[in-house]
Structure 1
């Protein structure tokens, strides 16, 4: 069940979502204290938001996992046969290593975000699985190099400075421990957390068939090393930024890091990643309207003269985001656990 997409979040719900964007797994007492509310009320509010698909909390592998040599990220463009787009998209959305699926405007039908343990596994999946899937005409794969920013940094900005300070005081900012080889248990934990980023230690222990103490220790190590990232999402119509824009740009190789720092300073930007392809930078931004999409591009090029925007697209239907399935309006209707430990045999 979803609520009417014309309804906006009230100021309390906006504050609650913003608080959980800062501290996704914080206890309700801590969240309530920052908002000036009791724990029972904020928990009830959150349950209503999740029950209607208006907001949710997920967990996904962080860039540190790839930089430690335990995965690679790719953006795959898919062209579909006439009349087969929906069936192909739904089939791909059920793949545990496909974290995002979007039907987009422009020169491709679908955009996928794919996680793989290595380039060999990715190549095998693209050539054999996608290459043999009925309804797919052609694909193009673009490898990500460095992810400079991702969606967990995006905020509603409903809290004041004091509230933000109270919530950030206990949050870990950046990795404070080295990356390490993930075990099978770590991958099971990430998969369970990807469906419910606020799952309790007890619930995770039951799902993974280990003790709650073991779960607590493994999760503490994962988060300390910055290998996973938990984030709170909100249905796009309720964010007042309902349009997702994809931009591909060209930057002088030596300026890529500096340009990316300028780009990620813009509020609208949700993703900024270097890519090894015909273009070397990919951006995803949330904007207020189609007109605002063009205004955003103007602001972007004025702010970052070293960036040339070479291609652009708009999400017509973001069908899957970070493992969570969305309806045509952007409300959550389900989830597929994320799994980067391996790809299905093909």
Structure 2
């Protein structure tokens, strides 16, 4: 389990992943060297990590799309398919799930045409993959960057929130090639310094600082601090596909998004119009989750459900069978599939 300092540290970095050690030490009332040492141990052990990925503002500005891709695998080759798919930079998450699909992927692409090319050239050409189906995400009502451990006081939370860049009013979002390179680099390590990012992305530290702050202020990206699922005291990921009357989707989805154990609530295309992912304490809690969902939305129809047996990749990071991080595959939604089915 996380000790007291670990829990405070992770919660703080979930709120403000790039906060400096000195500022964090002041807010938490702890020594900066102690905090840095705890973070190094957590990351070395694969117990915690950070990531960055495009936010909804990108999709609203026409710069990308998100899809949940169901994969059917050849008999006995699920692990092989999961490993191969997890290595692809357009794939954000890979989970082996129960039910009518073997794997559930979260995939990011710059547009629908690229998503189509990716589906027809990449997973479809892997010998372990039999079939793929996509559900494109519409509105994202909540996602993993908003999930919290809830270890800090209200005053500490407010102090860390105030340190975040002030949001800019909605407007035209123009992305440069440098912005894309920064997003990819930050997906491996959100806490990388401006000085470290500069040579990797081909710009000066001052330019990098200005562009990173701009991406955060425009909400073009989401930063995320994650922990190994067993350390969350909610080690089971439950997936629910639901149908809600069209006129009620917005209100119902926002109420569901406010549930503390819900990690994702998204409108989707296909047979169902809402996808919900929650972390729960046990498999038995899936039924309780459905009951609570029905309480928030009396008209909801639970159309399908699944449990994640294993997560092979989460937010761009490869995990072992226990859910601890082992390696990073930077998220790159602009990576065009090669004709051979291998990432370019």
Which of 69, 76, 81 is the equivalent residue of 2:74? 81
Contact 2:195 2:205 in 1 (8 A): yes
Which of 3, 8, 22 is the equivalent residue of 1:29? 22
Quote the offset at 1:343 in angstroms: 1.9
Contact 1:64 1:179 in 2 (8 A): no
The residue number in structure 2 matching 1:221 is 214
The residue number in structure 1 matching 2:306 is 313
Residues 51-70 of structure 1 aligned to structure 2 (within 5 Å): 51-70=44-63
Residue by residue, what CA displacement relative to the aligned partner does 1:134-187 show, whole Å, maximum 9, x if unpaired?
111111111111111110110001111121122112224755453422111111
Work out the CA distance in 1 between the residues paired with 2:166 and 2:5: 26
Quote the offset at 1:132 in angstroms: 2.1
1:92 aligns with 2:102: no
Contact 1:175 1:223 in 2 (8 A): no
Quote the offset at 1:285 in angstroms: 0.3
1:107 aligns with 2:100: yes
Contact 1:147 1:274 in 2 (8 A): yes
Q: How many matched pairs?
A: 339
Spell out structure 1 runs of 4+ moving beyond 3 A: 172-177
Contact 2:268 2:274 in 1 (8 A): yes
The residue number in structure 2 matching 1:294 is 287
Contact 2:67 2:135 in 1 (8 A): yes
Unaligned runs of 5+ in 1: 1-7
The residue number in structure 1 matching 2:266 is 273
Look up the SS of the partner of 2:238 in the other structure.
strand
Work out the CA distance in 2 between the residues paired with 1:176 and 1:203: 30
Contact 1:58 1:322 in 2 (8 A): yes
RMSD of aligned residue pairs (Cα, Å): 1.2
Residues 1-346 of structure 1 aligned to structure 2 (within 5 Å): 8-172=1-165, 175-176=168-169, 178-346=171-339
